[in-house]
Amino acid sequence: MEILESRLNVQSATFKENAKAMEEKLALLRERLKAARDDRSEKAYARHTEQGKLPVRKRLELLLDPNTPFLEIAPLAAWEMYDKRVHGAGIVGGIGIVEGREVMINANDAMIKGGTIYPMGVKKSLRLQQIAMENRLPCINLIDSGGAFLPLQSEIFPDVDNGGRVFYNQAWMSKMGIPQISLVMGLCTAGGAYIPAMSDYVVHVKKTGAVFLGGPPLVKAATGEEVTAEELGGAQVHCQQSGVSDFMAEDDADAIRIARQLVKRLPKFPKADVTRVDSQPPLYDPKELYGLLPQRLSVPFDVREIIARITDGSEFLEFKEQYGPTLVCGWAYIHGYPVGILGNNGILFPDSARKATQFIQLCDRDGIPLLFLQNINGFIIGKEYEASGITKEGHKMVAAVSTARVPKLTVVVGGSFGAGNYAMCGRAYSPRFLWMWPNAQIGVMGGEQAADVMITVKNDQMKRMGGEGLPEDQIDAIRQAIIENAEEEGHAYYSTSRLWDDGILDPAQTREVIALGLAAALNTPFEERTGSTVYRM
């Protein structure tokens, strides 16, 4: 393979200014992640520990193999939503290693409003399940939850992608042969009772764990019966009488010990067959990415500079280098895993879309996972390109991205706008994972363009009605409002808060995170290729 030669001037003033700006963004990211991890009220902490329960992060520490990575998913979900303290949407979730095996963990944080489930918590649970199903990962649920966050019950309960879907997915995972282990470490109330009930294995902690369809307050209200949580759904009831639980644990640590034993005896599944090579670091320091990334999205840069800082040995075998130059395609290895990379070097033209379609088909046929580095304003527009069929060329690329059977991973390294988001494997195109960089922005179009469109529409409308068009002060007001809105809603934090992505990454850690994502993705063997997409010619 060719070694990419960097043209980045690491001594230049621009590099230093960019690096400083990125360091500031990363300091903010670290601060927000720390708050998500640690910001709990003293009252909640005291209540949790007086019951003899371990904090959720301590539970995870005991569960995971020592010194192994934990690929946390959406740690900033629900950021700044609700009362601004429902960190991680009340759930810690991600892929960890237990007894040498990759597993999906979904753990309630009972120090956030009693571990109750907010709408974004449902969305996060569904996302964790989707990752588990797509990547055939056994699931471990650490349950400690007061059930639905009642003031928002209408947003959690009845719809297709609301709470009921979690249990529906559990039934399907069981059928798919994906083992599910639930540890009852606190309350599993109402709908929450179905999480252990629908699991293959249930470990129940004495005294603190309880499972019931209606908790003591509801039972009293409905029947007048006075009963404690332990009498209603404690470990003895469910391990000795009802048969809802399979193992009784003395405490949290004991439950985790049992869960580890269960994972140890799970059968191994066949993995996807890819040819791995020895891993080697890139020739260029990944931290140089900080100085590469311009402070404004409108300033272009060569995506090969990113590729040179994430691939093994900075090697890259570029495909059709001279053709469709606004999209760079080629093969590389990341931590020894083969990948086909597509990275934007400008807007998509007909030739770049055709090149992408061919490249995706090659990778798909040869069983090579795809990595999309998104920095895209969209497809070229205008009379000439419409006449030449840009939409039909875009269709080919979108169809190839949609139907590729190999794992797809996406990192938004800059802008993610318009149909470019679709063609470059945005969230709706089922990448196994999608991450944002702190500088990334997402939206139907940039704020300036959206403002121009709206001003033109309003102007034409007023003229049509016999007026003189929009006065200057209204133009400015419309422009400002639309730009402000686009900036707020296009921000990486807005995206990650709403689970449009799996988290915001430090660019320098991207290589490691991609490798973890690839390792997880290869747990699912490649499907047989069946049928063929009809491409509009």
Antiparallel, parallel or unpaired: β 408-417 and 433-436 = parallel
Residue 215 or residue 507: which is nearer to ligand COA going by CB?
215
Residue 281 burial (CB count, 10 A): 14
Residue 4 or residue 205: which is nearer to ligand COA going by CB? Answer: 205
Footprint of ligand COA on 271-310 (CB under 6 A): none
125: contact with ligand COA by CB under 6 A: no
Q: What are phi and psi of 417, to 5 degrees?
A: -125, 150
Burial class (CB in 10 A: 0-12, 13-18, 19+), 254: middle
Q: Which helix (H) or strand (E) holds 187?
A: strand 180-189
Identify the burial level of 394 via C-beta atoms within 10 angstroms of its C-beta, where 0-12 means exposed, 13-18 middle and 19 or more buried. buried
- Kindly state the smallest distance separating residue 145's Cβ from ligand COA, in Å: 7
Among 8, 178, 184, 187, binds ligand COA (CB under 6 A): 187
Using the rule CB under 6 A, is 343 a contact of ligand COA?
no
Q: How far apart are CB 150 and ligand COA at their closest, in Å? A: 4
Unique residue bearing structure tokens 């699991």: 199
Q: Which residue lies nearer to ligand COA by CB, 158 or 389?
A: 158
* Closest residue by Cα to residue 124 from 138, 146, 109: 109
**Between residues 221 and 381, which has the closer beta carbon with respect to ligand COA?**
221
Give the binding range for ligand COA (CB under 6 A) out of 62-70, 184-192, 294-302, 511-519. Answer: 184-192
Binding flag, residue 118, ligand COA (CB under 6 A)? no
Q: How many other CB atoms are found less than 10 A from the CB of residue 342?
A: 28
Q: How far is the CB of 140 from ligand COA (least distance, A)?
A: 21
Q: Which of residues 87-116 bind ligand COA (CB under 6 A)?
A: 113-114, 116
Minimum distance, C-beta of residue 229 to ligand COA, in the bound complex (Å): 7
Helix (H) or strand (E) holding 461: helix 447-464
* Tokens standing for residue 302: 């060569």
Q: Does 149 bind ligand COA (CB under 6 A)?
A: yes
Tell me the two tokens of residue 17: 């200014």
**Closest listed residue to residue 439, CA positions, set 373, 520, 511, 493:** 493
Minimal CB distance residue for ligand COA: 146
Please state, in angstroms and rounded to a whole number, the distance separating the CA atoms of residues 267 and 209: 28
Among 90, 138, 196, 215, binds ligand COA (CB under 6 A): 215
Region class of 315: left (phi > 0), else alpha (psi between -120 and 50), else beta: beta
The nearest distance, CB 192 to ligand COA, in angstroms, is 7
Residue 87 CB, nearest approach to ligand COA (Å): 14
Choices 100-108, 141-149, 242-250, 444-452; region in contact with ligand COA by CB under 6 A: 141-149
| Shortest CB 183 distance to ligand COA, Å | 16
User: Based on CB atoms, which residue is closest to ligand COA, 186 or 286?
Assistant: 186
Tokens encoding 148: 């639905």
Pair of tokens at residue 212: 């019931």
**117, two tokens:** 């489930």
Q: Does 119 bind ligand COA (CB under 6 A)?
A: no
Does 503 contact ligand COA by CB under 6 A?
no
Residue 331 binding ligand COA, by CB under 6 A: no
At residue 489's C-alpha, the angle toward residues 483 and 494, to 5°, is: 150
Q: Where are the beta strands (DSSP E) in 190-277?
A: 201-205, 210-212, 247-249
What are the residues binding ligand COA (CB under 6 A)? 47, 113-114, 116, 146-150, 187, 189-190, 215, 217-218
